[in-house]
Each structure stands twice: as structure tokens, then as C-alpha cells.
Amino acid sequence: MSSEKDAGGMGFLETRKRRLVTVYVPLLIFLFVLLFPFYWMAITSVKPDNELLSRDGNPFWVIKPTLMHFHKLLFQTAYPEWLWNTVLVSVVSTVASLAASVMAAYAIERLRFSGSKQVGLSIFLAYLVPPSILFIPLAAIVFQFGLFDTRWALILTYPTFLIPFCTWLLMGYFRSIPFELEECALIDGATRWQILVKIVLPLAVPGLISAGIFAFTLSWNEFIYALTFISSSEMKTVPVGVVTELVEGDVYHWGPLMAGALLGSLPVAFVYSFFVEHYVSGLTGSVKE
Amino acid sequence: MLEKLQNNRNALGLLFMLPAAVLLLLFLTYPLGLGTWLGFTDAKVGRDGVWIGLENYAFLVGDNVTQLALFNTLFYTTVASVLKFVLGLWLALLLNKNIRFKTFFRAVILLPYIVPTALSAIAFWWIFDSQFSIISWVLVKLGFIDRYIDFLGDPWNARLSTIFANVWRGVPFVAITLLAGLQTISPSFYEASAIDGATPWQQFRHVTLPLLTPIIAVVMTFSVLFTFTDFQLIYVLTRGGPLNATHLMATLSFQRAISGGALGEGAAISIAMVPFLLSAILFSYFGLQRRAWQQGGSDK
């Protein structure tokens, strides 16, 4: 016990045993709790029904793995269409939001038009407006514009949370690019558009990837707008489709439900795994400044 | 003409702002205004409402379900935010030590945050199932309980279960952002304080915490904001049940406006969330931010 007092705060002075108990054990518990639902999703999705509904045996393992749930999901439900809708809506709204945000962030940060400070602040405030207080009036507007139950309803409304975020993030990136580069180009006769496309954008590629990945996951995960603005099955996105269509009556088909949850999570996890660093810098960049 | 435009900051700025501005004005500012207006009308789905003044709000103040939803929202937000902060900070501190496979840990820990909440909520629905819950199974096998727990069927169990799922999803966000803050703290502070004989707790209390305060303020503002307006987790897990015990303001407004068709009333519930959100933002942002520059941090 006395060594505990003397250890101070310096990591290298801690004994191995103590480190194991105070660092690795809690860390592994965190990891277990955070990852268990995914394991449970995966194992349930390959379990045959009789194993799922029996209380005997070890539920943590599967004796006869089956792809029957995936088969049912892909061939007897509209799941492939939901997947396609989700991809389409996420990609289009992300690309559109990025384009609009690049121009807006450049204007606010570098053109410095009069009132740009106020506009920058209102962009930040727009980021704080949660979708759950907007969806009711938005539903009325979507209906009014004749967009109800179309993909356009989602493609046009997702930018309301994507643009503020991307603009805010990109403003930070543009700020770090030296002014001198632009001045040189201006003296050489480049237009503002050429400066943006040929000088600023290539230097801001990491920021663009961060914003893009983040925006993509945000739109892939969106739920409340897709739930409210879409009613026909073939127009739904994966999260909404799985929640509203795979639950039939009182009998829950856990196998296909878990298979649907897993398949809907994999693409976004896959994209994320390639750009972890960019994603993290987007996440932390969004709360800094 | 074109040349002149290219040299005029204001004209060019306006042009560059145009796409973002049009989308945001049309689908963010306009609905905010429309929502406020709808809250004062008796609009139904498919029927324009007429102005009825404060009638919606007067009704909601006396409505038991709304009162319960407000209580639930405050309870849910407070408990979940405190847990997310404590666990998130702890996880961040663990990750900040010199551990092996740090990048791997950091990448894996964020998974709950990036996966669609509606889909992970379905996994929790299955984990919390009244007949086949894996948690109950383990507890029964270990001999702690003799009957399966009704996680989502009992009011208080349901409240705590939904909070658990929310914390599960939110901890990675808090941990990773706070970790980024921790990494900016210079090790020399720790060396200096260790030489002066500070205990680990004193180092945490007088070095880590003060330097981390600005980022804690921002992270928790976001966390409170998203927890207070949470919708999908509750919608998937309980739809507000049992006996409205888990209804949040957002799920109640959805039920009244979209499922029930009373757009005006639903909009009034949404708008009623705004003062709470603003006070939460002001409290956590300015309350904590002030301390940052009192301690000689940069003024923002």
C-alpha cells in the first residue's frame, strides 16, 4: 500500500500489476460493454429459429449457423431497395452539402464580405437546431412542395444539418491555409474561383474527407425525417425500413431483424474503418474552436 | 461587368453563399418560423389551422401526459448526461495513458457512435426482451435472480434501460472528444506537479480538470442538446410506453402531430422544448466557459 502513495502521477513509475488493475481491466470492461451488442447482433443473425427460442444450451454460441435470415431479408422483403435508397440519399445529400459548404466556408473565412462574422455565427447556431423540433413544420413544407414520399424530401432536408456542420468544420481548415498563397495567386491574375479550386481545395483535402465522412455517416444514420416524410415501403431507408416493416404483429422475427440491423451497420462501419483518423478529426474539430 | 463582380467582395461573397443560404433559409429558418406559427394554431394534417392564441400551450400545461413527458425528458437528460460525462471522462483518461494498441482501441470504441442508432436500438430491444433477454439469462444462471426481468414493461425499468442504451451510444463521443482535449495538455505540467509532490488525485483536480474545462463545456453542451431532443432510441425501444413512462418531448410531439394528426399541438410541444434547450446551452456554455478565461485561457 505504501508504494501506492509514492507512485506519484508518472506513468512509468507505476508497477505492472497496478497498471493492469487500474488501466487494462476497466478498459476491457468498457470494450466488452461497448462491443457486446454488435456481437449479439451478429450471432443472432446466424442462429436458426429453434436455437433462438430455446432456453437450453449456451446462447452465446451457435451450433448450426444458417444464412436463412439473410436470405429472407434479401429476397422476401424490400431490404435491397431500402439499401439502395439509403446509399443514394446519403451520397447525393453529402456531395451537395459539401459543395455548398466549401463555397460558404470560403466566402465567410476568406472573402470576408461585410457581415461574414454574423453569418459564421448563425451557421454555428444552425448547427445547434435539433431535427426533432424541425420535423413537424418540415413535414408540412415537404407536403406543400409536393415532395412527400419521394427521395427528394430527404435529399433536400438532410443538408439542414449537414451544411452547418461541414461549413463550420471547413472554416477551421481554411483558416489554417496561409493568406500569402492566395495573395500570390491574386497578383498572378487568378480569379477567386481559380484560387478556391486550384489552391485552397487541394490544401484542404483532409478537411474535405473529414467533413464528407462525417456527413455521410450522419445522413446514413438519419431517422426522424425519413420516418416522417416517407410512407411507401419501397422509398424507405434502412433504419426506418427495419424498424417499421420487419416488425410484424406480436411475433418478433429476431433473426431477420438482427440481420437487417447488421447489414445496415456494416457499410457505414466499413467506410469508417478506412477513414478513422479523418472521422476523429472531424468529430473533435466540430466541438473545438 | 463580370470583372467587376469578381473584385467585389460583397457581391462575390453573396454568390458563394447562395446555395447554402437558399437551402438553410428554405428548410431551416422557414420551418422554425412555421413551427412557431403552427404552435399557435389548431392545424391538423391536411387542414390549415386558424390562430387560437395560447390555447395549445394552455392545454399542454394541464395535460398529464405532457407533464410526465417533461419530467421524463429532464430525468433522462440529467441522468444520462451525468453518466456519459463521468464514464466518458474515465474512458478518456484510460485511453490517454500509454497503452498498447491505442489507435485500435480508439477506433473500435467509436463504433457505437457511428452505427445507426435505430439499428443498435433494435439490438438493445432484443437484449432487453422480456422472455429471451441475455442479461436475464446470465443473472438467472449465476443465481442472482430467479425470474426474467421485464426490462421494458415496467415504468422504472424501462426508464433505466433506455438511459442505459443512450449512455452506451453517447460515451464514445464524450470519451474521444475529451481524449483530444487531454492530448493537448503538455506533459510538463504533470512533471512539474509530480516534482512538487502532487498525488494523482491532486494532479487530476488541479491540472487536468481546469485545463480541460473549456472542451468539457462544449462537449457537454452538445451531449445535453442531443439527449434532450432524443427521439429514435425511445421510438424504437418503447414508443413511449409503458404507460407513457418513457415518453420524451420529441416522441410525444411525434405521436400527437404525425400519428395523431394534431400538427398544431405537436408543434407547440416542440417549441416548448426551445426554452429548456436555450437555458441548458447558456448554463453549460457560459457557466463553464467563464472559468476558462478567469484562469488566463484565451478569450473567445
pLDDT digits (tens, 9 = 90+) for A160-173: 999 999 999 999 88
At A253 the pLDDT is 81
Q: Does the beta carbon of A20 lie under 8 angstroms from any beta carbon of chain B?
A: no
Give the nearest partner residue to B35 out of A26, A134, A287, using CB atoms.
A134
Give the nearest partner residue to A269 out of B114, B134, B171, using CB atoms.
B114
Residue A42's nearest CA partner among A237, A264, A221 is: A264
Q: Does the beta carbon of A224 lie under 8 angstroms from any beta carbon of chain B?
A: yes
C-alpha cell of residue B214: 473549456
Q: What does pTM read for this prediction?
A: 0.89
At A287 the pLDDT is 67
Beta-carbon separation of B180 and A273 below 8 A: no
Q: Nearest 5 degrees, angle CA A155-CA A156-CA A162?
A: 85
Tell me the per-residue pLDDT of A43-100, one tens digit each, with 9 for 90 and over: 999 988 888 777 777 788 888 888 888 998 899 889 999 999 999 999 999 999 999 9
Give the nearest partner residue to B122 out of A53, A257, A279, using CB atoms.
A257
Helical axes B209-228 vs A276-287, angle rounded to 10°: 90
Beta-carbon separation of B190 and A160 below 8 A: no
B294/A252: higher pLDDT: A252
At A8 the pLDDT is 42
In the structure, what pLDDT confidence band is assigned to residue A4 with cuts at 50, 70 and 90?
Answer: very low
Residues 66 through 95 of chain A touching chain B, CB cutoff 8 Å:
none
In the structure, what pLDDT confidence band is assigned to residue A10 with cuts at 50, 70 and 90?
Answer: low
In the structure, what pLDDT confidence band is assigned to residue A2 with cuts at 50, 70 and 90?
Answer: very low
Query: Which residue type, as a one-letter code, is found at position B112?
Result: P
Round to whole Å and give the CA distance between A26 and A32. 10
At A97 the pLDDT is 96
At A3 the pLDDT is 38
At B67 the pLDDT is 94
Question: Closest Cα of chain A to B215: distance in Å?
Answer: 7
Round to whole Å and give the CA distance between A191 and B44. 52
At B103 the pLDDT is 84
Q: Does the beta carbon of A125 lie under 8 angstroms from any beta carbon of chain B?
A: no
Indicate if the pLDDT at residue B4 is higher than 70.
no
In terms of average pLDDT, the best of A169-173, A271-275, B66-70, B291-295 is B66-70
Q: Does the beta carbon of A107 lie under 8 angstroms from any beta carbon of chain B?
A: yes
Indicate if the pLDDT at residue B239 is higher than 80.
yes
C-alpha cell of residue B292: 476558462
Q: Which region holds residue B197: left if phi is over 0, alpha if psi is between -120 and 50, else beta? A: left
Q: Name beta bridge partners: B44.
A: B47
In the structure, what pLDDT confidence band is assigned to residue B290 with cuts at 50, 70 and 90?
Answer: low
Tell me the per-residue pLDDT of B268-279, one tens digit each, with 9 for 90 and over: 999 999 999 898
Question: Closest Cα of chain B to A10: distance in Å?
Answer: 7
Round to whole Å and give the CA distance between A7 and A5. 6
**Rounded mean pLDDT of chain B?**
88
Q: Does the beta carbon of A242 lie under 8 angstroms from any beta carbon of chain B?
A: yes
Give the nearest partner residue to B108 out of A35, A167, A284, using CB atoms.
A35
At B99 the pLDDT is 81
CB-CB contact of B69 with B216 (8 Å): no
Residue A150, classed as helix, strand or coil, is coil
Helical axes A276-287 vs A159-175, angle rounded to 10°: 90
B292/B189: higher pLDDT: B189
In the structure, what pLDDT confidence band is assigned to residue B74 with cuts at 50, 70 and 90?
Answer: very high
Helical axes A116-127 vs A159-175, angle rounded to 10°: 130
At B268 the pLDDT is 94
From first CA to last CA, the distance across chain A in angstroms is 43
Tell me the per-residue pLDDT of A265-281, one tens digit each, with 9 for 90 and over: 999 999 998 888 888 88
- Helix, strand, coil abundance in chain B, percent, nearest 5: 75, 0, 25
CB-CB contact of B249 with B70 (8 Å): yes
At B287 the pLDDT is 67
C-alpha cell of residue A11: 506513468
Tell me the per-residue pLDDT of B16-60, one tens digit each, with 9 for 90 and over: 999 999 999 999 999 999 999 999 998 888 778 888 888 899 999
At A128 the pLDDT is 87
Tell me the per-residue pLDDT of A118-165, one tens digit each, with 9 for 90 and over: 998 899 889 889 999 999 999 999 988 999 999 999 999 999 999 999
Q: Does the beta carbon of A204 lie under 8 angstroms from any beta carbon of chain B?
A: no
**Rounded mean pLDDT of chain A?**
87
Q: Name beta bridge partners: B51.
A: B41
**Percent of chain B scoring above 90 in pLDDT:** 51
Indicate if the pLDDT at residue B194 is higher than 80.
yes
At A134 the pLDDT is 93
Beta-carbon separation of A136 and B9 below 8 A: no
Q: Which residue of B has its CA nearest to A217?
A: B114
Beta-carbon separation of B103 and A112 below 8 A: no
Round to whole Å and give the CA distance between B113 and A221. 10
Round to whole Å and give the CA distance between A206 and A213. 11
For A191, phi and psi rounded to 5 degrees?
-85, 165
